[in-house]
Amino acid sequence: MLAWLAALVLASPPALEQRLIVVSWDGAADWAVDRLLAEGHMPNLARWAAGGTVAQHTVPVFPTKTPVCHASLWTGAWPTEHGIVGGANPVLPKAEHTILESRRAFDANLIRAEPFYISAAKAGKRVVVLSATHQYPPKRWTDELAALGKKDRFVGFSGFESGIAPSRVVTEPGAFAFADARFKVEAFDDPADPTVGFDAVRLHVARPSGDKQVLVRPKGANGEAQGWAGPIRVASGDRQGDTHVRLFSLDPASGKMLLYVRAAADFGSTEQGAELEAYRKAARGFHDFPWGLYEGGSFGTTLMKEGPGTAEDRLLEVLRFDLEHLRRTSRYAWHRWKPDVMMHYSYITDSAGVWVGMMDPKGPRYDAALAARAWSVYARVFAMHDLWVGDLLKLADAQTNLVLVSDHGMAPVHWNFRANHALEAAGLVARSADGSVYLARTRAMVPPWSGNMVVVNTTDRLGGIVAPEDKPFVVAEARRALLNAADPVRGIRVVERVWDPKVHTHLGLGGDGGDLYFDLADGYDALAGFGEGLVEPILPRGSGANIYWGERRDTHAILYAHGPAFPKGASLGPMRFVDVMPTVCAALGFPPPRNATGHAVRLPGR
């Protein structure tokens, strides 16, 4: 209710009907974007910032995990209010499920507060969500909108849940299955090419929908989205999607190669038939997820292992091609549906955190020369995204406002910390001979849905053993165990602070989440499960993580707003996540998220 009143007070009646594009860059840290702008890597975002309003930084909710933070951004509500509590969510009701069960936390059916884009659709705005948390599966929202006679106000797409086949690297001639297709790969000597020996690769693609032949030639990575062949349509059941292939190298003598085959996925959508197929063709594929192949060495020796940079060049070209689908779908949807609100998202900026550990001068394996190279690669990822920013600026007319946010920052980490070992040593967790958790003797544990909280195994849960009156004593035991946990090699206390949601009621903690939350010393990541021990080094040179308390500098996120609703050259102080969308909606004269408890911040000069 407070957010609704604030919107009425602070919103100036717009001279023109306002439109809005919201983009989220996962894991885009405020500290990193500040440096990237200062060094000139993002000229389009610099122009966006100079012509609009910028928050000093935004403060994520806790735990600082993607589904939790996005839920608070989009709803203007705390985790206890919207019900998304970790990297995954517990399975409810408690009486029917154990503490060991979890489910995907991005599901639209889990969120208890209404995202702003649904509030906008219910208010009659034309909303197109190309990618955003908690909009899929869309039936919940389309049913609610249909009951109001506004089902046509919402168009949604999501490819994360509709995978068809994962990406792969092919290193020699042969055959393999890919979804419903069978690829046969042949290296050959093209008489028309002056290269002596193998100089091209032919792919025979056998499919129920009809066979296809594709010819590719080797081309070194150059950072551009060129040299790709496709699309090649494949299917799995009723899902259809496109893959593309890229030949990075081919040995003329042996025929050994590095042929990359993109992942294929379909789109779950409110749209079907011809409308969905038109979007598939416009997108030409969904996100690719090449990070496991990269870190495993499939692109060559990585920077973490002091490679020459070839692996990173290849990865960056794969990412650049991936980013093209974001740019294409943005342009297509803006012109096709002419929405009042359009939303999109990139996961790539978060995954690029894999290099952040290398940049940390406090890291145990720090090398200044490698750190400089790691920053250069990291900057190139954001420079690619700046091309997308340029596209959005071109799309925007006199009525259009652009808002760029991120869900959390990115901190360097060098050790994994598994608090369950500390709880086990304190007698709170018990395990069977095979290493699995023995619930009949487990009083509290770090649950599968988040690495930095403890949940008491109370009798209201299936398999629970702790009576309600004993819960405070178990929480106290867990607190002592956490605060006494020490790195066996470094000798330092790993847990820096602990919060009890019943005491720290203003933080939005608790609910179906944890009974105790904890933050760690610099350099440690918090994981559930048991792994190899209490503390494990992250080899070879650390990584990046979103694990820490939102008030820490490396956890801060971003807010950049541009357009007629936002004063030019204006700066806002630090903003809480729950205040972001109430502020944006108030500036545009849009209804705020229906269940928001955050407040609209007054813009300078307004």
Mean pLDDT of 514-534: 97
Same domain, 188 and 137: no
Judgement on whether residues 185 and 309 belong to the same structural domain of the protein: yes
pLDDT of residue 606: 75
Calculate what percentage of the chain has a pLDDT beyond 70: 97
Nearest residue to 80 via CA among 404, 398, 453, 348: 453
pLDDT at 4: 40
Give the 3-state DSSP-derived string for 251-283, with helices as H, strands as E and coil as C: CCCCCCEEEEECCEECCEECCCHHHHHHHHHHH
Residue ending a domain, choose from 543, 566, 598:
543
User: Is 183 a member of any domain?
Assistant: yes
Residue 8's pLDDT band, with cuts at 50, 70 and 90, is very low
| Pairing relationship of beta strands 444-445 and 453-456 according to DSSP bridges | antiparallel
Same domain, yes or no: 274 and 333:
no
The number of folded domains in the chain is 3
Tell me: pLDDT of 507 over 90. Answer: no
Predicted local distance difference test score (pLDDT) of residue 5: 38
In this prediction, residue 192 carries a pLDDT of 87
What digits encode the pLDDT tens for the residues 21-54? 999 999 999 999 999 999 999 999 999 999 999 9
Band (pLDDT 50/70/90 cuts) for residue 14 is very low
Its domain, for residue 328, covers: 2-162+323-337+380-412+553-588
419 and 394 inside one domain: no
> Is the pLDDT score of 580 beyond 60?
yes
The pLDDT assigned to 506 comes to: 75
In a domain, 30, yes or no: yes
Same domain, residue pair 386 and 424:
no
Three-point CA angle 412, 418, 422, nearest 5°: 130
Q: Are residues 186 and 122 in the same domain?
A: no
Asked if residue 518 and residue 564 are part of one domain, the reply reads no
Whether residue 15 lies inside any domain: the answer is yes
User: Is residue 11 pLDDT above 50, yes or no?
Assistant: no
Helix, strand, coil shares of the chain, percent, nearest 5, are: 30, 25, 45
Residue 79 covered by a domain? yes
- Kindly state whether residues 147 and 87 are assigned to the same domain: yes
Q: What is the pLDDT of residues 114-139, one digit of tens each?
A: 999 999 999 999 999 999 999 999 99
**Residues 157 and 20 occupy one common structural domain:** yes
Residues 13 and 147 in one domain: yes
Query: For the domain that residue 85 is a member of, what is the CATH number?
Result: 3.40.720.10
Residue 597 located in a structural domain: no
Nearest to 169 by CA among 247, 261, 254, 232: 261
Q: Do the domain assignments include residue 12?
A: yes
In degrees, to the nearest 5, what angle opens at C-alpha 241 toward C-alphas 238 and 242? 155
> 543, 572, 601 — which closes off a domain?
543
Q: Has residue 371 been placed in a domain? A: no
What's residue 1's pLDDT? 40
So what's the pLDDT on residue 16? 54
pTM above 0.85, yes or no: yes
pLDDT of residue 502: 87
Task: Give residue 173's pLDDT.
Answer: 97
Whole-number average pLDDT of the chain: 95
120 against 222, higher pLDDT: 120
Q: Quick one: 310 and 198 in the same domain?
A: yes
Long-range pairs of 193-198 with CB within 8 A, sequence gap ≥ 24: 193/217, 195/252, 196/252, 197/252, 197/253, 198/250, 198/251, 198/252, 198/253, 198/254, 198/255
Q: What single-letter amino acid sits at 57? A: H
Instruction: Say if residue 7's pLDDT is above 70.
Output: no
Asked if 126 and 207 sit in the same domain, the reply is no
Please tell me the distance from the alpha carbon of residue 188 to that of residue 201, in angstroms, as a whole number: 6
Question: Of 6 and 329, which is predicted with more confidence?
Answer: 329
Amino acid letter at 262?
R
Distances (CA, A) of 25 to 41, 223, 281, 296, 315: 16, 20, 24, 25, 19
Domain membership of residue 375 (yes or no) is: no
CA distance 438 to 435: 9
Q: What is the mean pLDDT of residues 139-153?
A: 98
**C-alpha distances in Å from residue 304, one per residue of 169, 374, 384, 538:** 20, 9, 22, 11
pLDDT tens digits for range 357-368: 999 999 999 999
Query: Confidence band (pLDDT; 50, 70, 90) for 503?
Result: confident
